[in-house]
A and B are shown apart, each in its own frame.
Chain A
Amino acid sequence: AQSVTQLGSHVSVSEGALVLLRCNYSSSVPPYLFWYVQYPNQGLQLLLKYTTGATLVKGINGFEAEFKKSETSFHLTKPSAHMSDAAEYFCALKANAGGTSYGKLTFGQGTILTVHP
């Protein structure tokens, strides 16, 4: 079984401040990990992903995440928040079981990011 836990359903930061959204996972096999962003009444947009290789992954819009196996974490960060970053963010996991190149995603509960002027 696999699961994803996002700590904090709501995170509020000031514009220009560091953004840190936490994601911890549980998986019996090596995971592929993703961060998606969802704006109101829209689908999900891929921010970044970790599959194999370098554990620090850079994504779009200045976001990055680091895969830490020892901590079973994949926290999302951005050095300086913009007003346009206000959205809901989802961490997701897919088990890297080999063979098939696609499969079910397990999503975290989501974190709503609010950015204050």
Chain B
Amino acid sequence: GAVVSQHPSRVICKSGTSVKIECRSLDFQATTMFWYRQFPKQSLMLMATSNEGSKATYEQGVEKDKFLINHASLTLSTLTVTSAHPEDSSFYICSAVVGLEVATQYFGPGTRLTVL
């Protein structure tokens, strides 16, 4: 149980285009999902907290107009990188909280974004 998927696993796009990444909880409902960014050889940086049916809460320094987050259902959150630039190239990982299980986040497999 507690499986989180992400799609696509890998995407290459041209500079200026927008890319959408999906995060799904496959066998549970997730009222809260988190989006992280990981640069090579570095730790995870929390970008935003996504709550179903409400606006995402962004961490300081994260551009909300650039990284659009939608949590339309209890099993799906999407991250859209708008007008992507090469500096947006990174590994994006989502996580979800399982029901009433205290504190534990379950992570998706990640999406490798490369912007040319």
Contacts and interface: CB of A to CB of B under 8 A. Distances in A.
User: Are A and B subunits of one complex?
Assistant: yes
B13 interface: no
A107 B71 CA distance: 24
A102 B105 contact: yes
A41 B112 contact: yes
A61 interface: no
Contacts, number: 56
| Chain A interface helix/strand/loop/mixed | loop
Given A102-B32, A107-B43, A110-B43, A94 B103 contact: yes
B72 interface: no
Interface residues of B, number: 25
A105 B46 contact: yes
A100 B50 CA distance: 15
Nearest to B43: A107
Nearest to A108: B43
Name the prevailing secondary structure of the B interface residues: strand
Contacts of A82: none
B107 A45 contact: yes
Given A43-B93, A43-B107, A43-B109, A101 B46 contact: no
19 contacts: A41-B91, A41-B110, A42-B110, A43-B6, A43-B110, A45-B107, A46-B104, A49-B103, A51-B102, A90-B43, A90-B44, A101-B100, A101-B102, A102-B102, A102-B103, A104-B46, A105-B46, A107-B43, A107-B44
Given A43-B93, A43-B110, A46-B104, 17 more contacts: A32-B102, A42-B110, A44-B107, A46-B107, A49-B103, A51-B103, A90-B44, A102-B32, A102-B102, A102-B103, A102-B105, A104-B46, A104-B49, A108-B43, A109-B42, A110-B42, A110-B43
Please provide the 8 A-B residue pairs with the shortest distance between their CB atoms, ordered closest to farther. Answer: A43-B107, A102-B97, A44-B107, A43-B109, A32-B103, A43-B110, A107-B43, A101-B102
Interface of A: 32, 34, 36, 41-46, 49, 51, 90, 94, 96, 101-105, 107-110
